[in-house]
Structure 1
Amino acid sequence: MKYISKLFLMLIVIVSVSSCQDDDAEFGAVIAPSNLTLTASIQGQSAAEPNGDGTGIVIFNAASDNALNYTYDFGDGRQGSTFDGEIEHRFVELGTNTYSVTVTATGTGGAATTQTILIDVLSTFDDSEAKDFLTGGSSKTWYWSVAENAHWGVGPTNLIGGQSPEAYYTPAFFGVSPFGRYCVDLTECFYEDEMIFTKTGNDVTFELKNFGSTYFHNTYLSQFGGPSANNPNNSDECLPFTAPAPGLVTFTPTLDTDVPETESRKTSIILGNDNFLSWYVGSSEYEILEITANRVVFRTVQANDPALAWYHVLTTEVPVNPNPNCI
């Protein structure tokens, strides 16, 4: 009997080991990428301008054996990732600065290999006035300009159906009426948001305070746990959401836009850490159309539908609900 018991235990051990080996076989070998190389091409680089033409744009190319993806740390507080190893980045610190750029190539099982290079890049673009308007020189909080007509709305990025040229830079499709997102169950979080720009030295950071929920375009609801049970029509709605951590703001010249120069400042901002200005349409880049010390108009293109441009009119005045009893 003891012999049979021992034989039974041995069989269990053999089956267990065999099972683990099968699992390992299914997972595959853990292989770290090898022969990793990293090169950089600075826009406008020449013998006369060895650090570039001042745009600060650099195209990086990484290559290796057995890599599944590449993650970049650009040495300026910003990161990026790509599957094929090529990525474009704009350095924005004024003057010629040295950056330590590291790429991490990741293989199967998370095995990783890194490579670092030093690069000197010239950046001459700055919009100090816009920075001061947004931050007041230190820190400033912005809100939806709820009393204005079309303080939030959408228009085309292509002129279709015989629309006037103004459709490029106005919410020609739809503009919400004054206080138009108050007293609506699915949108009750919208006007609570605080958008804070803070300046330290010449750097600006952005923080979104959404108090636990964000208003999402309906095409993004499924990515963030929606639609909710009280939204059978899959309309835009507020969903529980933890706002991204504060991130650096990149100020860039606006290049890829159909908005005429007379209707735009031709400065855009890119919010770090995948931040966004309250309304979620998958974008972190915003063109500044108008800006003063207490009012700003932004335009952003919807990430999953580049035919749509969204408009945000913000103010430094705290929103006041004209009918507080309705919520």
Structure 2
Amino acid sequence: MKYLYKLMIVLTLAVSFQSCQEDDTEFGDIITPSNLNVNVAIQGESSTDPNGDGTGIVVFSSTADNALNYTYDFGDGRTGSTFNGAIEHRFVDLGVNSYSVTVTATGTAGAATTQTFVIDVLSTFDDSEAKEFLTGGSSKTWYWSVAENGHWGVGPTLLIGGQSPESYYTPAFFPVPAFGRYCNELTECFYEDEMIFTMNGNNVIFELKNFGSTYFHNSYLSQFGGPSANNPDNADECLPFTAPAPGTVTFTPTTNTDVPEDRSRKTSMLLANNNFMSWYVGSSEYEILEITENRMVLRTVQANDPALAWYHTLTTDVPVNPNPSCI
């Protein structure tokens, strides 16, 4: 009886071991990438300008045997990833600065090889006036300019026959009227948000205070637990959401739109940590069309539908609900 019992244990272990072996073979051999090589090309680099032409643009090209993916930590608080190893990055700290860049080549089952090196890059772009308007030199809170018609809305990024040129840089498809998102249970969080810009040395820190919920475009609802039970039509709505951590704003020259010079400041803001200006359309990059001490107009392109540009008009005046009884 004891012999039979021991035999059963041995057979069970053998079956289990064989099963594990079969499971392991499904993933194939685990191979760590090797021969990682990184080429660095600083835009405008020459014998007289070894740190580049001041744009701060650097193109990285990495190769490695058996690599499936490459990730970059640029040493300036930002990261990137690519399947083919090639990526462009703009460094924006003023002057010549040293950055410790880490490249990771990843193979099967997460096996990885890394390489770290230091590069010196010159950046000459700055928009000190915009930073002053945003922060007042210390810290400033911005809100939706709810009393304005068209304070929020959407327009095309490509002109179609019959459209006026102005539709390219205005919310021509749908300008929301003044107070147009009050008194609706699906949008009740929208005007509560506070967008805070704080000066920290020569840098600007952005913080979104959303008080626990964010207004999402309907194409993103399923990614964040929606739509809710009271939204059978899958309309845009507020969902519970923890705002991203505050982070440094990257200011860059606007180069990816054709908005006329007289209708744009030609300065763009890239918010850290995938942050956004209250309304979620998957984008963290905002072109500044207009900005003064107490009013600004921003333009951002929807990430999952680049044919649509969204417009935000913000103010430093705290919103006032003209009809408090409705909520």
For the criterion TM > 0.5, the same-fold answer is: yes
d(CA) in 2 for partners of 1:68, 1:209: 38
Q: What SS does the corresponding residue of 2:231 show, helix, strand or coil?
A: coil
Corresponding residue of 2:155: 155
d(CA) in 2 for partners of 1:187, 1:48: 56
d(CA) in 2 for partners of 1:190, 1:77: 29
Letter paired with 2:257: T
d(CA) in 2 for partners of 1:277, 1:304: 17
Q: Deviations over 1:37-70 (max 9, x none)?
A: 1111111222232211111011111111122211
Q: What SS does the corresponding residue of 1:133 show, helix, strand or coil?
A: helix
Letter paired with 2:110: G
d(CA) in 1 for partners of 2:306, 2:40: 29
d(CA) in 2 for partners of 1:99, 1:200: 20
TM-score (structure 1 length as normaliser): 0.97
Corresponding residue of 1:105: 105
Compute the RMSD of aligned alpha carbons.
1.2
What is the Cα deviation at residue 208 of structure 1? Answer: 1.0
- Aligned residues with identical type, % of pairs: 79
Letter paired with 1:293: E
Equivalent runs, 1:314-325 vs 2, <5 Å = 314-325=314-325
What is the Cα deviation at residue 325 of structure 1? Answer: 2.1
Equivalent runs, 1:56-75 vs 2, <5 Å = 56-75=56-75
Corresponding residue of 1:23: 23
Q: What SS does the corresponding residue of 1:81 show, helix, strand or coil?
A: strand
Q: What SS does the corresponding residue of 1:153 show, helix, strand or coil?
A: strand
Contact 1:249/1:272 (CA < 8 Å) preserved in 2?
Answer: yes
What is the Cα deviation at residue 27 of structure 1? Answer: 2.8
Equivalent runs, 1:1-327 vs 2, <5 Å = 1-327=1-327
In the TM superposition, structure 1's runs of 4+ consecutive aligned residues that sit over 4 Å from their partners are none
What is the Cα deviation at residue 12 of structure 1? Answer: 1.1
Q: Deviations over 1:129-170 (max 9, x none)?
A: 101111111211111111111110011112213211111211
Q: Deviations over 1:240-284 (max 9, x none)?
A: 111111121110111121211111111011111111111111111
Q: Deviations over 1:1-40 (max 9, x none)?
A: 2221111111111111111212222233332211111111
Q: What SS does the corresponding residue of 1:31 show, helix, strand or coil?
A: coil
d(CA) in 2 for partners of 1:145, 1:78: 31
Letter paired with 1:228: S
Q: Deviations over 1:199-235 (max 9, x none)?
A: 1111111111111111111111122222122111111
d(CA) in 2 for partners of 1:79, 1:139: 27
Q: Deviations over 1:284-325 (max 9, x none)?
A: 111001101111100011111111110000111111212222
Q: What SS does the corresponding residue of 2:137 show, helix, strand or coil?
A: coil
Contact 1:40/1:61 (CA < 8 Å) preserved in 2?
Answer: yes
146-155 or 42-51, which deviates more? 42-51
d(CA) in 2 for partners of 1:127, 1:90: 16
d(CA) in 2 for partners of 1:326, 1:161: 41
Q: What SS does the corresponding residue of 2:186 show, helix, strand or coil?
A: helix
251-260 or 220-229, which deviates more? 220-229
d(CA) in 1 for partners of 2:96, 2:284: 26
TM-score (structure 2 length as normaliser): 0.97
Q: What SS does the corresponding residue of 1:186 show, helix, strand or coil?
A: coil
What is the Cα deviation at residue 126 of structure 1? Answer: 0.2
Contact 1:38/1:117 (CA < 8 Å) preserved in 2?
Answer: no
d(CA) in 2 for partners of 1:45, 1:20: 54
d(CA) in 2 for partners of 1:321, 1:69: 50
d(CA) in 1 for partners of 2:106, 2:245: 25
2-11 or 128-137, which deviates more? 2-11
Gaps of 5+ in 1: none
